[in-house]
Amino acid sequence: MLRIDVLNGPNLNMLGIREPGVYGELSLSTIEQMISEKASQLGVQVTFFQSNHEGAMIDRIHAAYGKLDGIIINPGAWTHYSYAIRDALSTVSLPVVEVHISNIHKREEFRHHSVVAPVAVGQIAGFGPLGYTMGLEALVAQLSQHNG
């Protein structure tokens, strides 16, 4: 069974409260339930982690090495400047899908650039919470191609 970590960065614990016009009204736990249901349909195991602390996220990424098959990450604001998160993802040599609830390319200029994208197999942005399940399907397809 494929094992995938779903990681969420700063402020994503406040989904449903934080700018619902941008991020929607669903809580992170509701989104995680949606992802779990899709994972069950796909026959994969998912685990979830959210942190507002960069070092804790790096530790979690490092812990995936040799134990997991892939990572789905919404790095939040770290997307745009955290070379440490980018380097951690690169170091563990796992396929990564970058997900954003909003379309970062239609927002403020500083949000247009991702330092994570170059180490990801793909980026999904602008489809709301559906982006996570889209990312899960894409990652499972990617892993199945390489493991099949």
The active-site residue, picked from 53, 80, 81, 100, is: 100
Q: What are the distances in angstroms from CA 12 to CA 8, 43, 129? A: 6, 26, 12
Dihedral through CA 115, CA 30, CA 17, CA 74, nearest 10? 0
23 is catalytic: yes
Single out the catalytic residue among 23, 81, 83, 112: 23
Put the strands of the sheet holding 70-74 in their side by side order: 45-50, 3-8, 70-74, 96-100, 122-125
Please confirm, yes or no, whether 132 is among the known catalytic residues. Answer: no
CA–CA distance from 111 to each of 15, 39, 80, 105, 143 (Å)?
18, 29, 6, 7, 29
Q: Which residues are catalytic?
A: 23, 100
